[in-house]
Amino acid sequence: MSFLKRLFGAKGAGAAPAAEIIHEGYRIAATPQKEGDQFRLHGTISKEIDGELKSHTLIRADLFPASEDCVAQTFVKAKQVIKEQGTAIFR
């Protein structure tokens, strides 16, 4: 049950991003989630489409010992998702 709470609970929701970048018109916000002594890859991909802000939450099983490493890999994974799926991620 605690795993589901961490995954779907409010923890980390609405948290200020550790870092943000703009990539090909998409805003990528990295918000690493602390789990024990490591950080889980977590972030948001968003883009304004037809005047409406669309967003997609990116959560991966990847864990990193340092928050900075987690942020860097969040950007790498988000760019990969954007390249592979484009605006289809908002469906």
Instruction: List Cβ<8 Å contacts ≥24 apart for 10-19.
Output: 12/42, 17/43, 17/44, 18/67, 18/71, 19/71, 19/75
pTM: 0.82
Architecture per CATH, 2-90: 2-Layer Sandwich (3.30)
Per-residue pLDDT tens for 9-68?
444 445 689 999 999 999 999 999 999 999 999 999 999 999 999 999 999 999 999 999
Distance CA 38, CA 46 (A): 26
Examine the pLDDT at 6 and tell me if it is beyond 70. no
Q: What is the pLDDT of residue 90?
A: 96
In 10 A of CB 31, how many CB atoms?
25
Q: What is the pLDDT of residue 1?
A: 44
Q: What is the pLDDT of residue 43?
A: 97
